[in-house]
Amino acid sequence: MEARRGKPMIGTGKVLRRLNEMLDSALDGSFEEYHYDETELSKIETKWNRFLSSSSLARKNIEKEKANLQSLVSDISHQTKTPVANMKLYAELLEEGIARENPDREQMLFMAGEMKKQAERLEFLIQALTKMSRLETNLVVVQPEKQPVEPLIFQAVAQIRPKAEACEIDVKIQGNQKITACYDKKWSIEALYNLLDNAVKYSPRGSQVNLRVQEYSMYCEICVEDRGIGMTEEEIPKVFQRFYRGKQVQQKQGVGIGLYLVREIVKKQKGYVKIKSQPGQGSRISLFLPKD
């Protein structure tokens, strides 16, 4: 067998043996690339190693997505069980009340009101779960654009203001709203509204919520600060978990998805979220959106 100029040739038998070894080791997961040189066999080994690595990564991603889907289905089943059971219970009680000759009007109105509340809770939960699943499965395409943060702040505050006024909570805006950042308007409004909603929900009646805008060299900070119940240092990393609710807020309305959605939305825009809080002294939660 004649060698190419400058490159040694390898015997056909040795090449076939090595290829056979490569296939066997790939099947049992023990493949390792030999010392690299300029031979054609070595180049094949390098490509084979890259192929196995990418295949392994793809398999791990599929397994992760499968686990996430199983977890999501389990969470949906658990979270919807209570409102559905309550609606069925009140429906049965209403049927019994109607069947009586002299039904208690006030009691029936109460049960009808409770059914409406549970239906509204179920509707909110389904909407939140839909948003969450779309984000997790990358069905949502976030399209950040460089633009002033003023429309983002204006619309999020306009959405929360009726709820804040009902609780006699004043929402104050501070800082330069003309600052520009790179963000997706629709989903960023969703994220900022969730922060404002939490601030209003967990603040005492008659208090104040501050929204501050601050510019840095690489990021624009939009901070929501309340004077509510606050949280412990141990709780802070947990509040970003799906369906997590602290002990102090168990009696409040909510399902524990808001901050999870905030983090996922901001993360998809190359930004991040930061929390400072102490029990009884309120919370300060900041969105950091990239400027470019």
Tokens of 13: 């038998």
pTM comes to: 0.62
Give the residue with greater pLDDT, 214 vs 249: 214
Give the residue with greater pLDDT, 239 vs 250: 239
241 contact partners, CB below 8 Å, separation of at least 6: 256, 260
- Residue 224's pLDDT is what? 94
The confidence band for 3, taking pLDDT boundaries of 50, 70 and 90, is very low
Task: Please answer whether residues 93 and 111 qualify as being in contact, where contact means their C-beta atoms are separated by less than 8 angstroms.
Answer: yes
* Strand-strand pairing, 180-183 and 208-215: unpaired
Give the residue with greater pLDDT, 159 vs 126: 159
What angle is formed at CA 123 by the lines to CA 117 and CA 124, rounded to 5 degrees?
A: 90
Question: pLDDT, tens digit, for every residue of 37-94?
Answer: 556 666 666 666 676 666 666 667 667 666 665 666 666 666 677 777 777 887 887 7
What percent of the chain has pLDDT above 70? 65
Q: Return the closest-CA partner of residue 193 out of 209, 180, 179, 174.
A: 209
- Residue 142's pLDDT is what? 81
From CA 71, how far away is CA 81, in angstroms rounded?
15
Task: Specify the amino acid at residue 142.
Answer: V
